[in-house]
């Protein structure tokens, strides 16, 4: 009877860690501890994941007990204990896909890549897993590896907006602007994935800013924010597009909006920092 108590105690300890972080995020000094709190959140996620992995391992061991029981002489292999279904690999893969997406959201791209690689091992033809794996690699600046995954997805699903928008971003980072515009504009025309459409507008804003076409950049950042008001980085870059386009007051408005949108977000902090810089008579860097 000790196992359930141990499991309950372990869960209680993890819940206590969660509550401490939750309290810290609501405290006045949370912004100053942003990176420290991010590390604690990732550590907690990994601790929970380790416990889940241990339970999954125990579950697999129990399945082996089932198989050994079936081999007993005279054992009745009736319906009392059912063999795992053929979909087990797909179900396990979906767990790793969900884990990968959560880790991308947390900013732990290395761990996300490991989880999504495992998902693809279980289900090699899963386009969602491959697209997310490419995204995790792209966020680690491993553009060539990411591009390989995105291209494989697009061969199977030409209308996969997540893969195409990220191909556009990689082309942008490589300075292949014409091809980047082609991919991003196609995502906007398809408009079959709201998140991809949002990022297509945002990436086009970055592209036109890079080409010093500040009015066009402002337009696309504005459209991105209309689709996703919580995309704080778009406020930051909208302010820069307005600033270098000659609209200093509009730039400050954008940075204030970004600062107030989420003061705990790193981009919200950058909005506050650049606002202090220009209020003090400084000038933002165009290459930032």
Residue located via tokens 């979909």: 87
Question: How many Cβ atoms are within 10 Å of 27's Cβ, its own excluded?
Answer: 11
pLDDT of residue 87: 42
Q: What domain range is 247 assigned to?
A: 231-288
pLDDT of residue 30: 77
User: Could you read off the pLDDT of 58-71 as tens digits, one per residue?
Assistant: 655 565 665 565 55
User: Per the structure, how many domains does the chain have?
Assistant: 3
Same domain, 163 and 223: yes
Name every residue whose Cβ is closer than 8 Å to that of residue 200 and which is 6 or more positions away in sequence: 161, 165, 168, 184, 185, 187, 188
What CATH number does residue 186 fall under? 1.25.40.10
What is d(CA 156, CA 135) in angstroms, rounded to the nearest whole number? 17
Q: 86, 45 in Cβ contact below 8 A?
A: no
Question: Which residue, of 228, 244, 279, is where some domain finishes?
Answer: 228
Query: CA angle at residue 203 from 284 to 163, to 5 degrees?
Result: 150
Same domain, 44 and 109: yes
**Is the residue at 197 inside a domain?**
yes
Total number of residues shown for the chain: 288
What is d(CA 162, CA 262) in angstroms, rounded to the nearest whole number? 25
Same domain, 164 and 221: yes
pLDDT of residue 226: 96
**Is the residue at 284 inside a domain?**
yes
Tokens found for residue 275: 């606002």
DSSP string, 133-197: HHHHHHHTT-HHHHHHHHHHHHHH-TT-HHHHHHHHHHHHHTT-HHHHHHHHHHHHHH---HHHH
Same domain, 48 and 102: yes
Q: How many CA atoms lie within 13 A of 266 on its CB side?
A: 7
pLDDT of residue 8: 58
pLDDT of residue 5: 43
**Is the residue at 74 inside a domain?**
no
Question: Which residue, of 193, 228, 263, is where some domain finishes?
Answer: 228
Residue located via tokens 């991809």: 196
Q: How far is CA 273 from CA 125, 205, 266, 279, in A?
A: 45, 21, 10, 10
Residues of the chain with pLDDT under 50: 1-5, 74-88
Same domain, 215 and 285: no
**Is the residue at 212 inside a domain?**
yes
pLDDT of residue 40: 80
Tokens found for residue 40: 């604690």
What is d(CA 44, CA 241) in angstroms, rounded to the nearest whole number? 39
pLDDT of residue 78: 38
């Amino acid at each position: 009877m000790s196992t359930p108590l141990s499991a309950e105690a372990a869960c209680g300890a993890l819940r206590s860690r969660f509550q401490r972080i939750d309290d810290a995020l609501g405290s006045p000094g949370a912004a100053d501890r942003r990176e420290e709190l991010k590390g604690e959140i990732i550590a907690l996620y990994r601790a929970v994941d380790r416990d889940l992995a241990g339970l999954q391992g125990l579950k697999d061991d129990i399945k082996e007990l089932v198989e050994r029981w079936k081999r007993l002489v005279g054992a009745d292999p009736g319906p009392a204990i059912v063999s795992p279904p053929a979909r087990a690999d797909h179900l396990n893969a979906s767990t790793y896909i969900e884990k990968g997406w959560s880790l991308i959201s947390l900013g732990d791209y290395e761990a996300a890549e490991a989880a999504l690689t495992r998902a693809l091992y279980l289900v090699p033809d899963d386009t969602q897993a491959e697209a997310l794996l490419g995204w995790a690699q792209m966020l680690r600046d491993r553009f060539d590896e990411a591009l390989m995954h995105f291209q494989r997805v697009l061969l199977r699903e030409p209308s996969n907006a997540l893969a195409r928008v990220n191909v556009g971003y990689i082309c942008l980072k490589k300075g292949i602007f014409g091809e980047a515009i082609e991919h991003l504009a196609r995502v906007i025309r398809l408009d079959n994935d709201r998140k991809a459409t949002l990022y297509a507008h945002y990436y086009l804003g970055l592209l036109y800013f890079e080409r010093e076409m500040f009015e066009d950049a402002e337009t696309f950042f504005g459209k991105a924010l209309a689709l996703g008001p919580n995309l704080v980085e778009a406020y930051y870059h909208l302010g820069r597009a307005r600033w270098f386009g000659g609209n200093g007051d509009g730039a400050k408005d954008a940075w204030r909006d970004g600062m107030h949108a989420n003061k705990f977000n790193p981009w919200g902090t950058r909005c506050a920092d650049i606002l202090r810089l220009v209020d003090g008579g400084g000038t933002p860097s165009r290459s930032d």
